[in-house]
Structure formats: C-alpha cells, structure tokens
Structure 1
Amino acid sequence: MDDVRSTVAGTGYVLGNDDPALSRVDALSRVHAPATAAWLHHAGLAPGTSVADLGCGTGAVALAAARRVGPAGRVVGVDTAPQPLAVARRRAAAAGHRGVVLEQADVTTWEPPGPVDAVLGRLVLLHLPDPVALVGADGPAGALVRLGVPADLGLRLDAVFRDAGLPDPVLVTGQPLERGGSATGWSIVGGDVTALADAFERTGTATAAEVGPADLEQRLRAQAADAGAVLVDPLVVGAVARVP
C-alpha cells in the first residue's frame, strides 16, 4: 500500500525520523486505518500466516497483521531507522504480540530468515529508487516531485506489479474526509511541511518565511475551525497480488 511512509536509508526518504515526524506517522496511521484494514482483508491473512512488513515504521501495519495471524502466526517488521523501531517494539510488547519480531535493516537487501506467506509494505515504494525490483523479489507533493520522489506512485501500482511479473493485483483505495480544526490530517500536513522545510528552500518551492512551518499546523487548525472547512486527506491506493 502506497505506518506510514517508513524510513529506507539511502533511498530518498526525506520526511524525517525525529519525534514530530513519528507523531505525523501515527496521524497517518489513524487517518488511513479503514483503508489499511480493507487492504489487509484482501491480502487474506489467516491464523498461522507468516508475514514480512517492509518499512514498518512505528509498527501500525505489523501489529494489525499480528492481530489477524494470531498467536500461531509470525510477523517480521523491517525498518532502517532505530527510532520508529523502538516505538514499534514497545507497542508490540504492550499488546502482548509474542510472534512479532522487529529488525533494523535496509528493506532493499533484507532477506527473511525463512519462507513467508505474505509481504506487506505501506507507503514505502514511493521512497525506493526501483520499486519494481522490490515488488518482484505543488505543496509537499510538489517538493517531493522535485526531490525525485514519485508522489503519485499509488496510482501506478498496477503497472509496478505488472512490470514485476506479478498477477493482476486487486486495488483498494481510500480517501478520508474530515471536518473542522480538530481533523487529524492537519497533523499530517504540518508534519510534512516541517520535515520538508529545508527541501522547499533547496528546490525553490517556497521559503521558510513564506510557509512558517513552526506554527503552520496551529494556523491551519484555527482557519479550518473558523471556516468549518472540510479536509480532504491524501488518496491512498493499496495493491494485493497472489502468487501461485
């Protein structure tokens, strides 16, 4: 599904791993929980299934998968950055998921310790230089494009899967709508802008003075509350392919 934009070292991840960035990841997970649930449903994770979650971040998808595969199943989450992995480990322990293992590694070279029944990855392919290779084995979006990050990769997942030689994927989409200043999505917008502030300057998208990242989220929330605005959160597209 293109937890969630997880960190992949050396592959162009530009959204950060400090505490504000991790809060933004949690906001993404809350907003897109229904779409993620639908995606996992189509993946058909059964009790006892062995799963790998690449770019697991703070563990939202790995833990959701663990609930589906049950105590007889196994979930291995992989991420490059230690900060989100530490959060994921705490959450797995608190939830009592003994079958969840979280490893620090580069997802482009990591190999599972044994056979797995399913491979998951939410908001990770757009940060990879060659998403087909992994699958086979103007605002923030404008800045991402200028940095070489394909912000529209979700809409190209069908082609990515086909190019990787996989069967026709089932596509699942979701785009939540939220109302007013309390919308969770404002944390995502504010977090994106804060993480990309330096990139805005480098790419000529905007200056820090023009954007005001330090209090952008608060200003957006206040304006949305005054106007009774509806926030259209980012469209996410999930793809599921079953290999014989």
Structure 2
Amino acid sequence: MVSDRAPGYVLGDDDPALARLDALSRVYAPATAAWLDTAGLAPGATVVDLGCGLGAVTLAAAERVGPTGRVIGVDAAARPLEVARRRAAAAGHRTVVLEQADVTTWEPPGPVDAVLGRLLLLHLADPVALVARMAGLVRPGGVVAFSDVVLPTRAAHPPLPLLTAFNGWLLTTFERLGVPVDAGLRLTAVYRTAGLPDPVLSAGQPLERGGGATGWAIVAGDATSLLPAFERTGVATAAEVGAEDLEQRLRAQAAAADAVLVNPLLVGAAARLP
C-alpha cells in the first residue's frame, strides 16, 4: 500500500518538540543538502516548502534560489512558524513567506517552480493525493521533491538495551496507529501512483559516536511526544518509558559502550515534470 490511514502529526509543537525538530535539522543537514541539490532549485525560482516547521528546509531553499527567488513555507502549527519567521528575518531572507495552513488543502497564489516536503508524507492519511495535487500546481519543467525516513534502520552498535526498547515502542505504536515506518522506501511508489515520473533518489544515514550524539536528543524527544500514544495503544506505560530522564540514561549507556548511533535512513526523491 502507498496510502496508509495515518492519524496526522502526533509529535507535538511544545518546547521539547521544537528542540527535537532543531536536533533533526542538525543531524540531517548533509542529507537534506544532497536531496535539495538533486532537486536542482534554480536561482529566481518560486518554491513551496510544505510542513516547514522551524524553517530549516525553507531557509536552505532560499539560499539556493537567491534574492530573486521566493520561498513559501507552510505549516499547520503556529509556534514553529514564529521561530521560522525570526530565523528568516535574522538571515536576511526578505523573499521568504511563512503561512499557517493545512498542507492538505493549501494552495499557492499561482503556479510555482518547485514543491518540497521533508518528513511530511509519513504523517498524512493519503500522501498520494497530496503529491498529485501539488504536482498539478507546479509549472512544466518544475520539480516535486519529498524526503522521508526509514525508521527501522535506527540502531546502536553495540546494541543498547534502552534504544532497543525505544525502537520496539516506536515501531509498534506507529504500526497500531497506521503510520508507515518505512515511508522513505515508499517514495517511488507514491510518485508513480500520483502519475509523476520516477524520481531521482538520494539517501543519507548519519552516524554518531558515544554519549554526545545529537541523535539521543531526537530519541528522547520522540519518546516524550509519543508517550500519550504509547499508553493509548497499550505499548508502554509512563513508568516503563521514564521519559523525564530517558535522554540521560541513553547517553550514559552509549558513553559506557562507546556505541555508534546509526540514525534512521533519510531518503530523498526529486522528479522533474515534463
């Protein structure tokens, strides 16, 4: 299947969730840059970044299209957009526009040259519908580019008991909620079903070492945000997760084992329309 019934974004927009988004952007900056380079955003292009969050992809796109281009970031949550607006202003990106809207129904004021979305499709009930609809708003010769993760690829070497437990909680919860855990590997199928050309794929899987890895903050942030879902689906209790000090315990285990953290694979897809 390429159109799972996902319940929507379940990771929150409070302070811990925003810190998690920042950590994600740091860890996946090189993989994101490779994906955007594959997309081939041209100077002067008009670009839409769906599910823009704190604006990391939005600002990276703005760097590529330059002062003659325009980037519109769209997100349903107000608080991340406030941060994104401050960061765009601080970076001097006067042609960046950030709008609060439902990405499944929002439309730009006119045709655009590219549509982007990072870590978005796995949260949607019908990713094919969104990709097809947005592709219809892109000019001929324009680009449709989405990227997503493959969550089962997260691991530690040597294995760490706490990370093994977290992986089980996360994957089982997403399975019960209908959220695809391998969304990155479904991108080509999504594009084909949406009637797009086969995309060019890129991939990156950041490796970090020891207790100082940024990825431990991502794991702990996910656990905090998903704790209600863990409990609601019967996967784990608050006492089992221990979210209040999970990050510290993960870091301690990683430091003691000098473990390598393999963050989830990020797959990028970019297709140029006829």
TM-score between both structures, scaled by the size of structure 1: 0.94
Choose which of 230, 241, 247 in structure 2 pairs with 1:217: 247
Distance 2:108 2:93 in 1: 19
Deviation at 1:12, TM superposition (A): 1.5
Describe the superposition over 1:35-93 as per-residue Cα deviations: whole angstroms up to 9, x where unpaired.
Answer: 10010001101110110000000000000000000000000000000000000000000
Aligned to 2:83: 87
Is the aligned partner of 1:147 residue 2:177? yes
Q: Which residue identity does 1:97 align to in structure 2?
A: H
TM-score between both structures, scaled by the size of structure 2: 0.84
2:269 aligned counterpart, secondary structure: strand
Distance 2:191 2:172 in 1: 25
Distance 2:234 2:240 in 1: 12
Choose which of 14, 22, 27 in structure 1 pairs with 2:23: 27
Aligned to 2:132: 136
Aligned to 2:220: 190
Deviation at 1:141, TM superposition (A): 2.6
2:44–2:67 CA contact under 8 A, matched in 1: yes
Is the aligned partner of 1:105 residue 2:94? no
Choose which of 116, 136, 144 in structure 2 pairs with 1:120: 116
Q: Unpaired runs of 5+ in structure 2? A: 1-5, 134-167
Choose which of 65, 72, 78 in structure 1 pairs with 2:68: 72
Distance 1:224 1:60 in 2: 28
Distance 2:43 2:171 in 1: 38
Is the aligned partner of 1:157 residue 2:192? no
Q: Which residue identity does 1:135 align to in structure 2?
A: V
Describe the superposition over 1:165-224 as per-residue Cα deviations: whole angstroms up to 9, x where unpaired.
Answer: 000101111111100000000010000000011111111111111110111001101111
2:272 aligned counterpart, secondary structure: coil
Is the aligned partner of 1:53 residue 2:36? no
Deviation at 1:143, TM superposition (A): 1.3
Task: Identify, as 1 or 2, the structure richer in strand.
Answer: 2
Distance 1:126 1:211 in 2: 24
Distance 2:24 2:108 in 1: 27
Aligned to 1:199: 229
Aligned to 1:171: 201
Q: Unpaired runs of 5+ in structure 1? A: 1-9
Distance 1:140 1:18 in 2: 20
Aligned to 2:10: 14
Distance 1:143 1:68 in 2: 38
Q: Which residue identity does 2:170 align to in structure 1?
A: P
Distance 1:208 1:26 in 2: 25
Name segments (4+ residues, structure 1) moved above 2 Å. Answer: none
Q: Which residue identity does 1:44 align to in structure 2?
A: G
Distance 2:215 2:254 in 1: 12
Is the aligned partner of 1:238 residue 2:268? yes
